[in-house]
Amino acid sequence: MGKRKSRIIYGPILSRRLGRSLGVDVIRNPSSRKNCNFDCVYCQLGSVTDKIQSPEDAVGCVTCSEVVEGIRHYHRSIEDIDYITFSGTCEPTLNLWLGEMIDSIRDISDVPICVITNSSLVGRKDVRQNLAKADLVVATLVSGYEDSFRNINRPAPGIHLEEVIEGLAALSLLDGCRLSIEAMFVESNEFPGNSSDREISRLVEVLEYIDPDEVEVLTVTRPPAESSVHAVDEKRLKEIARYFDDKLGRNKVRLVLQGIKRGRSVLKHENIEEEVYDLILRRPCTNEQLIDSLDISRENLIPVIENMKYRGTIEVIRECNTSYYRVL
């Protein structure tokens, strides 16, 4: 197994929002740590300088048949998936075959389909049409102010918050998918974070305009790209959620706090080392997160981890007194 080589289909991962989620990565470019048009300060994949400017510039887009083949293969061994989720090491809307992929998956599976997007391209009609085919779109929006948007998401040139907001409002009007806005709150030693009263009040105005089906209030829980960035404390996060409840309606707002536990699944493993690698590639993981996601015992996991560390495919990093594994 070489560095940064991975399968298109990975997981399932145990997600705080989606339960047991089978991941689909639609750009495969082993020379890049991530394939995205943002470089968010909170990104779990680390920081890059080579942001993709547009879908037309994306290299390594996987095809519809590769995705279908991958799903077919996984269906033989997994029986209790909650979602098939387009996410991973890329921004999925950069692959313009996304809509066709969703249609093709529906031909072979009844599992609900989710797309996790950074919202950067929702100003484009073709991208909105692709997204509308999903059951659920989880779209990031960190601020109603252009400067905070730039500080936190660090978009490629040509991406502007106003177009993002207009695109999200247009997506919300389309029939089909549920739209969930992921409002990620961070604090930083280097720029004003987005959890101040001024930020929250503006974000609520924008959310009222977009009118999504749901808003998720959360903060970083894994090592971010920038060490100067840290989580908003739980007390403040709850205050924000209460304010959102008052303004947007309690049934729309979901506070996402760290840690969920699920029942055991019926996963069968073909190659535990590859499955561990595939998960860590997409996000740094602790032993406990790997054990929960892959449904394996600590006794089975530790020798695999030790072997990967010995061969230099992963390393240990520390964040908030917790050890995570990260792909080298």
Kindly write out the interface string for residues 118-137 of this chain, putting x where it contacts ligand SF4 by CB under 6 A and - elsewhere: x-------------------
Residues 6 or more apart whose Cβ sits within 8 Å of residue 239:
none
Tell me the helices (H) and strands (E) count for the chain, helix number first: 10, 11
Residue 316 near residue 325, CB atoms below 8 Å = yes
Q: Which is nearer to ligand SF4, 40 or 168 (CB)?
A: 40
Report the candidate in 90, 100, 109 with the shortest Cα–Cα distance to residue 6.
Answer: 90
Kindly write out the interface string for residues 78-117 of this chain, putting x where it contacts ligand SF4 by CB under 6 A and - elsewhere: -------------x--------------------------
Q: Residue 238 CB, nearest distance to ligand SF4 (Å)? A: 24
Residue listed under structure tokens 């996987």: 62
Residue listed under structure tokens 């309690």: 250
Q: Residue 36 CB, nearest distance to ligand SF4 (Å)? A: 3
Q: Residue 109 CB, nearest distance to ligand SF4 (Å)? A: 25
Beta-strand runs (E) in 87-127: 113-117
Cα–Cα distance between 68 and 9 in angstroms, integer?
A: 10
17 binds ligand SF4 (CB under 6 A): no
Q: Which is nearer to ligand SF4, 87 or 195 (CB)?
A: 87
Q: Which is nearer to ligand SF4, 149 or 248 (CB)?
A: 149
Q: Residue 149 CB, nearest distance to ligand SF4 (Å)? A: 12
| Burial status of residue 31 (CB atoms within 10 A of its CB: 0-12, 13-18, 19 or more) | exposed
Q: Decide the pairing of beta strands 19-24 and 9-15.
A: antiparallel
20 pairs with which residues across the strands?
A: 14
- Considering only residues 24 through 63, tell me which ones interact with ligand SF4, judged by CB under 6 A: 34, 36, 38-40, 43, 45
Q: Which is nearer to ligand SF4, 37 or 313 (CB)?
A: 37
Q: Residue 18 CB, nearest distance to ligand SF4 (Å)? A: 16
Q: Residue 38 CB, nearest distance to ligand SF4 (Å)? A: 4
Q: Which is nearer to ligand SF4, 38 or 74 (CB)?
A: 38
Number of residues that bind ligand SF4 (CB under 6 A): 9
Cα–Cα distance between 328 and 325 in angstroms, integer?
A: 9
Q: Which is nearer to ligand SF4, 36 or 279 (CB)?
A: 36
Beta-strand runs (E) in 118-233: 136-140, 178-188, 214-219, 229-231
Q: Residue 225 CB, nearest distance to ligand SF4 (Å)? A: 7
Q: Residue 47 CB, nearest distance to ligand SF4 (Å)? A: 8
Q: Which is nearer to ligand SF4, 134 or 248 (CB)?
A: 134
- Considering only residues 138 through 197, tell me which ones interact with ligand SF4, judged by CB under 6 A: none
CA distances from residue 312 to 1, 47, 67, 215, 277 in whole angstroms, order as listed: 11, 20, 29, 40, 12
Q: Which is nearer to ligand SF4, 20 or 33 (CB)?
A: 33
DSSP state at residue 121? T
- Largest pairwise CA distance in the chain: 53
Q: Decide the pairing of beta strands 322-327 and 314-319.
A: antiparallel
Cα–Cα distance between 215 and 296 in angstroms, integer?
A: 33
Q: Residue 106 CB, nearest distance to ligand SF4 (Å)? A: 25
Residues that bind ligand SF4 (CB under 6 A): 34, 36, 38-40, 43, 45, 91, 118
